[in-house]
């Protein structure tokens, strides 16, 4: 007789700190899994608390609330239904001084049957789990129905020890609970880790990842199964919540997938765009803002930001404001209005000229004897920042800033001006990618997007030379190298930590590379005061790349 077993993947969107809400999500998913005939449902890493909880997890009251939720969920299984594997922060023992672990809890027959503790705590990039959790010991398999299941918690799949130990102790099927953040290299990294584990201890795998946005981090879902060779055998969708059933059969003493979802995942620009949409959507909704406010300049950054916001929230929750000065071109006025119309958003125009005149009058005595310079340019940007924040205060909409990673890298942004706001969709997107994403969005309507199809960013916005329009005939390339050159140098400096000599050897001008390196370092103080923004690369500013503000080093 062939053994069979059905496992439901719970690829869901928890909210950090909303323990009651996460419990209800888990109960609803458990009920759905029961209706589908599942024997087991698997949730993602730290699902009950939300992931990552950071220092919130250190609060004793928070820990007690998670424990109560886990016990209540366990009691639900007393009258039958699928067993449950779910992630939660967990203290080992009854007294308050026991160690706190990142745990997977096995719930069945009305109680918490077993716990598995994460062994390797990541302390790189966006992770600092060593700060809040204790390291667990490798665990043997848990008997769940007919399956000896090796239960692995996220980082432990990236390291050989826990997987090998579970296999040595008789694990037949590996189940991995993940909180694996998205970055443009995520899929390749995950599959490489699977191949490395299979090379040492080949076992079929079920990998469950959450699908959510949490502050700067987004999680793409993309849960999957793999066979003993590392080949993917089933794929849950990316960028979508749901409960997805997988069916398993045991033959020749080995479990194999009999049936499971066969979705196609996004790639390239579509994948990055979906990450940006989710980042805005969850940040705005989970923090309960009624909508967003964007300074629409007629330039490409604000136009792409507006398109992302509309796709995430709907046009009725996006308000755009043009704030022209005497340097604003007629072309920009027309382009901003056309973009707002194409997206269907509320659109206002508020001139800053009276405010500029007032500041000139107030500051003339203090500036006597000095020629106009970047100071007067920054005043215009800061006036716009004040207007946006006033509208935000009055109507409750959060301001989305529009600076891209190229600008944030070299400080081509104004503190308390165009950096004012609560979130930045493009913070981890280089300028050349901004152009590519804008063209892509004009040609595609993303899945589940709330915005319209067709050209939502006027082509003239994409084609014209970028300009801050803070002085006559200003162009970005007056102050910066062409973005194709700048972004290549920044990619080498930021993403790969290459030396100046290594970059020069690639064919770049040494003086330009040294200047960009210098600008990168001295702009750190600005980045520390910038709003959070969606992480899409392997090394974003803030969570991944943490450099000192006071820094005397230059690569000479």
Active site residue 453: no
25, 118, 281, 427: the active-site residue: 118
Q: What is the DSSP string of 492-516?
A: IIIIS---HHHHHTTT--HHHHHHH
Q: How far apart are CA 520 and CA 540, in angstroms?
A: 13
Phi, psi angle pair for 27, to nearest 5°: -65, -40
Buried residues in 268-281 as b, exposed as e (16+ CB within 10 A): ebbbbbbbbbbbbb
Place of tokens 């030379």: 465
Of 106, 126, 125, the closest CA to residue 117 belongs to 106
Q: Look-up: residue for tokens 């809040």? A: 132
- DSSP lists the bridge partners of residue 59 as none
Give the Cα separation of 57 and 206 in Å (integer).
Answer: 27
Q: Which helix H or strand E contains 342, and what residues bound it?
A: helix 330-343
Range 454-484 burial, b when 16+ CB lie within 10 A, else e: eebbbeebbebebbbbbbeebebeeebbebe
Backbone angles phi, psi at 66, to 5 degrees: -65, -45
Q: Could you say which of 154, 172, 407, 431 is catalytic? A: 154
154 classed as catalytic: yes
| DSSP-H helix ranges across 234-318 | 268-286, 300-313
Handedness of CA 433, 434, 435, 440 (dihedral sign): positive
Measured in degrees and rounded to the nearest 5, phi and psi for residue 148 equal -90, 100
Nearest CA to 133 out of 63, 79, 181 is that of: 63
Beta bridge partners of residue 255, listed in sequence order: 250
| Given 45, 155, 407, 517, the catalytic residue | 45
Name, in order, each residue with C-beta under 8 angstroms of 161's C-beta and a sequence gap of 6 or more: 119, 120, 138
Catalytically active residues are: 45, 118, 154
């Amino acid at each position: 007789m062939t053994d069979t077993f059905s496992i439901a993947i719970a690829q869901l969107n928890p909210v950090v700190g909303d323990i009651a809400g996460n419990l209800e999500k888990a109960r609803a998913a458990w009920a759905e899994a029961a209706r589908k005939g599942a024997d087991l449902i698997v949730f993602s890493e730290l699902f009950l608390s939300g992931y990552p909880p950071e220092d919130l997890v250190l609060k004793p009251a928070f820990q007690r609330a998670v424990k109560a939720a886990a016990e209540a969920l366990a009691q639900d299984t007393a009258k039958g239904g699928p067993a449950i594997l779910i992630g939660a922060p967990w203290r080992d023992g009854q007294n308050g001084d026991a160690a706190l672990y990142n745990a997977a809890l096995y719930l069945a027959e009305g109680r918490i049957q077993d716990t598995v503790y994460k062994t390797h705590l990541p302390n790189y990039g966006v992770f600092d789990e060593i700060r809040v959790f204790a390291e667990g010991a490798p665990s043997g398999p848990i008997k769940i129905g007919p399956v000896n299941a090796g239960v692995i918690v996220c980082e432990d799949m990236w390291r050989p020890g826990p997987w090998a130990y579970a296999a040595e102790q008789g694990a037949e099927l590996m189940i991995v609970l993940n909180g694996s953040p998205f970055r443009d290299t995520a899929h390749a990294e995950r599959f490489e880790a699977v191949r490395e584990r299979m090379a040492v201890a080949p076992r079929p795998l079920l990998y469950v990842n959450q699908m959510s946005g949490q502050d700067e981090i987004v999680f793409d879902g993309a849960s999957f199964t793999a066979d003993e060779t590392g080949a993917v055998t089933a794929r849950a969708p990316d960028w979508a919540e749901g409960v997805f059933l997988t069916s398993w059969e045991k033959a020749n003493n080995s479990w194999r997938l009999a049936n499971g979802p066969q979705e196609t995942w996004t790639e390239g620009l579509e994948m990055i765009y979906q990450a940006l949409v989710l980042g805005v959507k969850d940040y705005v909704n989970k923090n309960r803002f009624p909508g967003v406010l964007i300074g629409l300049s007629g330039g490409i950054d604000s136009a792409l930001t507006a398109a992302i916001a509309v796709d995430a929230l709907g046009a009725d929750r996006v308000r755009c404001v043009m704030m022209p000065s005497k340097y604003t071109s007629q072309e920009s006025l027309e382009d901003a209005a056309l973009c707002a119309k194409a997206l269907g958003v509320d659109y206002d125009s508020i001139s800053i000229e009276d405010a500029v005149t007032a500041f000139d009058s107030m500051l003339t005595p203090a500036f006597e004897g000095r020629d106009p310079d970047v100071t007067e340019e920054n005043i215009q940007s800061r006036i716009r920042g004040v207007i946006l924040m006033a509208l935000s205060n009055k109507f409750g909409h959060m301001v989305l800033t529009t600076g891209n990673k190229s600008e944030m890298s070299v400080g081509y942004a104004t503190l308390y001006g165009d950096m004012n706001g609560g979130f930045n969709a493009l913070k981890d997107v280089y300028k050349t990618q901004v152009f590519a994403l804008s063209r892509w969005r004009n040609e595609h309507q993303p899945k589940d997007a709330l915005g319209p199809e067709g050209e939502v960013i006027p082509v003239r916005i994409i084609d014209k030379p970028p300009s801050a329009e803070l002085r006559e005939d200003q162009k970005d390339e007056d102050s910066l190298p062409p973005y194709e050159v700048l972004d290549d140098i920044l990619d080498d400096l930021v993403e790969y930590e290459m030396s100046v000599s290594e970059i020069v050897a690639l064919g770049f001008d040494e003086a330009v590379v040294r200047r960009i390196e210098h600008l990168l370092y001295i702009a750190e103080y600005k980045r520390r005061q910038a709003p959070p923004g969606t992480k899409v690369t392997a090394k974003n500013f803030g969570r991944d790349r943490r450099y000192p503000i006071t820094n005397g080093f230059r690569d000479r």
